[in-house]
Structure 1
């Protein structure tokens, strides 16, 4: 069963000094649940890192309530908090002369006391955390020899070894190439299911978040924070409104964002699946709006078992194209 792990009520965040208060966001009402991957999206400078630091108790709130597992976060001692909330930060850790196994073992520090000696149970938890992230082949490697993607997996394993029900991550894919970004996001999603932990992260990887996250938090200066599943936010218009800026359009047909091309003409495009999607993408890149709803004297068929595309021209001619490149040549010549 999913648990209401974090309960946020009328939260205001920002920075306080003796003479001034800089408010970043206010009146935040939200819930974060166990067994879900929640992604925080927003423009640079909107306050994502401030919110993340406040939720993880690294920074004091201005006002309001943050309840973690039914307790106000301010009531936790440092030791209690270290066994309740785990944090993985953006900064690369420049660690020398330490193996992966040793670093993951440091996740047990809230339980091992001053000397840091791992008991048999601590060692079991470290091995289990390594197995969950599938980095058994890295355990003897020195941390400074790892790639960025490998290092991020190690830091996630360290957070798992801490055995906290809640894990916050600040831009976990910031320094990674695209395949590594996908791998890390898929790993985090899998961990929410296999461990039932609450995993909350800030990210700039919009497309990945929309495909992988269970819940999205949209944060902007005008509307504060809007939360929901990616699909509900799309249907309500919040996603298209959130990114309503020049050059970016939310495509309701694919559920993803695309470049807003300037269209010089339009054509009806029949079909479905990958062939339909790839032809539509190529046409729109070339200034032709194409989908099933367009009424036009010419149209394109992408259905059928063959790999060809059928172009019905305005004069009644029918042309076959074996590739999208050929299709574009036919369209440019006759439309």
Structure 2
């Protein structure tokens, strides 16, 4: 066993019995080692006994039981003159001799090595210079101690301890009166000296966060007189740091190694930001009562989530939802290239600065305490998983998520660039072999409407998840045939707690946000009746519901109910009826013609307003029998 350094062997520290007072044991049964070459930091709550333990280790007060060993020898057995050469002590000293220079103060450390006169020899002077150099204080040598800053004074006191040429140094709260920069510099100096000089350095401090970052070993004095010894990581993992220091307002976060506000009354928030912005946002929101939610991501899930995050810079992050990738949250915040965005109860709000965001979050927290949100932000992973699943239903439901490559165009081009829309209509007319521009426009509009209805309707019905198709983040690509290819550069999503929110949200997302500007663009290019376009939009909606009822029969009732509610809103009202002649078999009866019969060789579509009721019912019956396997 290596006897070097300082060792506690069953030490009991406290105060012996005095007249009228019994013995008082502050600490009992302590076993720990401060090894040479390591910085050992002593921490603990106020009143835990840190100063009492240091004074006992320094021999300034006797141990009530057990032994303090220095280099294998009990300190009480070491002559005072010899102990002064082996052990240096730096206490919290505010009042120092006023007439001394920094060199003279450091020189006091040589007195255990001088003769009766106490005069320093040339060799002693060289050692004092070396000690000042070691702490980077040579430039202070001739300055009066009274003119030194707190940080400079502490350096000189450490130089005085080094001048003793000890094997161990004890320091009691050396950073107590220093600013942040000086505290970090001094602790870094002590660690360097321990390693370079092979010293056993034990320092007490109240600066827990700094101690956990710089210490090689931690001695934690917990309430009750227990001493926990280990590396910062070991003690953090064991939970003893949080147990010792957590309070009503602050709690120790083991992941970041810092204390965070423990108000939590505003709900849970997920913050997505890089570099310094994430802790800044978390602290600002914590002051307003928000608690940062835990996120658990591993393996492929983390990779896919990261891909989604990378493509979502222009909008609010979806936040963490319930499931394997994180806690459910009420608020999600993301830093973007030009500010910050927050997602709360179905709304996405943008802010230029953190103070603006924090001020708004205070009101959001008040709202949350009164009325829980009915829409919760969903994680990018949850959104992408739902979209990926729905995409397997068919071509109209496919929606890619990620960065777009060459050949993809913003969906807004179809709304704002008449030349682009005219070209698309002409391509459809050529493919259908018709000169009827209105027919081509009608069919193109219905195809795009089906593409815009299918992914959000599928996610809502199959996963109780609302996705926001932001036109600025949706791209399309020309294709010779089939459904229009769509790709999203990130999607916001909401998990539904109140089904009553689904209908109005889907109407806002698809009809107000996408189909209304699309219909206006079509009407600017082609003279086409609004009723025809909205009949097509309703037919596209009904076709989506019909497909989902067939593919996901367990959600058929939900699909039909939602379809009927949507058909009763805004421009979709009075466009037709979603009938259900048999459970799970919805059919649409539209009230306006889509002009499909105008195509060469065309006829009546399944929703056609021109089909006689009797014929329609026969078609329905045949379709139901075929879906059930009957002929």
CA distance in 2, matches of 1:230, 1:65: 26
What is the deviation of 1:190? 2.2
What is the deviation of 1:162? 0.7
Matches within 5 A, 1:247-326: 247-291=249-293, 292=295, 293-296=326-329, 299-302=332-335, 306-315=337-346, 318-326=348-356
Alignment of 1:7 onto 2:7: yes
5+ residue gaps, structure 2: 296-325, 368-631
Of 197-206 and 319-328, the range deviating more from structure 2: 319-328
How big is each residue's C-alpha offset from its partner over 1:104-141, in whole Å with a ceiling of 9 and x where there is no partner?
Answer: 11211111111223233222211111011111221111
How big is each residue's C-alpha offset from its partner over 1:284-322, in whole Å with a ceiling of 9 and x where there is no partner?
Answer: 1111223443324652223x6x2532334543x544433
Q: Cα distance 1:253–1:46, how it changes in 2: closer, same or farther (>3 A)?
A: closer
Q: 1:200 — aligned with what?
A: 202
5+ residue gaps, structure 1: none
Q: Cα distance 1:22–1:296, how it changes in 2: closer, same or farther (>3 A)?
A: closer
SS in 2 for 1:83: helix
Q: 2:79 — aligned with what?
A: 77
How big is each residue's C-alpha offset from its partner over 1:258-305, in whole Å with a ceiling of 9 and x where there is no partner?
Answer: 231232222332344321221111111111223443324652223x6x
Of 22, 37, 40, the residue aligned with 1:35 is 37
CA distance in 2, matches of 1:254, 1:74: 42
Kept in 2: contact 1:4–1:31 (CA 8 A): no
Kept in 2: contact 1:11–1:62 (CA 8 A): yes
TM-score under structure 1 length normalisation = 0.90
Q: 2:127 — aligned with what?
A: 125
Kept in 2: contact 1:104–1:158 (CA 8 A): yes
How big is each residue's C-alpha offset from its partner over 1:160-212, in whole Å with a ceiling of 9 and x where there is no partner?
Answer: 11100100011112222333222222222222222221111222222222222
What is the deviation of 1:9? 1.4
Of 174-183 and 107-116, the range deviating more from structure 2: 174-183
SS in 1 for 2:229: strand
Of 21-30 and 90-99, the range deviating more from structure 2: 90-99
Number of equivalent positions: 331
Matches within 5 A, 1:125-204: 125-204=127-206
CA distance in 2, matches of 1:99, 1:150: 12
CA distance in 1, matches of 2:285, 2:128: 52
CA RMSD of aligned residues (A): 2.3
Q: Cα distance 1:130–1:41, how it changes in 2: closer, same or farther (>3 A)?
A: same
Structure with more helix by fraction: 2
TM-score under structure 2 length normalisation = 0.49
Q: Cα distance 1:15–1:325, how it changes in 2: closer, same or farther (>3 A)?
A: closer
Kept in 2: contact 1:267–1:294 (CA 8 A): no
CA distance in 1, matches of 2:292, 2:260: 14
How big is each residue's C-alpha offset from its partner over 1:73-113, in whole Å with a ceiling of 9 and x where there is no partner?
Answer: 22211111011000011122331222111121121111111
SS in 1 for 2:276: helix
Of 102-111 and 12-21, the range deviating more from structure 2: 12-21
SS in 1 for 2:5: strand
CA distance in 2, matches of 1:297, 1:52: 48
CA distance in 1, matches of 2:23, 2:266: 51
CA distance in 1, matches of 2:151, 2:49: 26
Q: Cα distance 1:223–1:47, how it changes in 2: closer, same or farther (>3 A)?
A: closer
What is the deviation of 1:223? 4.7
CA distance in 1, matches of 2:359, 2:244: 37
How big is each residue's C-alpha offset from its partner over 1:8-57, in whole Å with a ceiling of 9 and x where there is no partner?
Answer: 21111122236732211111111111122112122333322111111111
Of 153-162 and 111-120, the range deviating more from structure 2: 111-120
Matches within 5 A, 1:73-112: 73-112=75-114
Q: Cα distance 1:210–1:333, how it changes in 2: closer, same or farther (>3 A)?
A: same
CA distance in 1, matches of 2:192, 2:265: 41
SS in 1 for 2:142: coil
Structure with more strand by fraction: 1
